[in-house]
Amino acid sequence: MPKHQRPTLFDDIVKGLDNQYRIYKAHATETCDDDTPHLITNVATTAGPTADGAATSVIHAALEGRERPPGVHLVDSGCLDAPSIVASQTEHGVALRRPARPDY
């Protein structure tokens, strides 16, 4: 770190013992039924470079373990590819959907 740059709390949190930065992503799963409160049902973390779709199966397995599997899982486009759609449906009985893209 240059001498003119002061360390921040963020630097202390994300650096490991070897003084290298660690970057993570958090994947939060939330209920979204119209007639019930929205509740977070699962939080998973992955290393920053991990593709978003790699977490989908892990999230579904965790929700099944708590007897809370969704019938439909709304995901962003990073989680939606052909293998994920098939695996979610056949292995977990979950249909993956993403919000519709706006018209351009």
Residues in Cβ contact with 38 at an 8 Å cutoff, skipping those fewer than 6 apart: 30, 31, 32
What tens digit of pLDDT does each residue of 31-72 get?
888 898 988 888 888 888 888 888 888 889 999 998 888 888
Give CA–CA dist 81/53, Å, rounded: 8
The predicted structure's pLDDT at residue 74: 86
Boundaries of every domain in the chain: 11-96
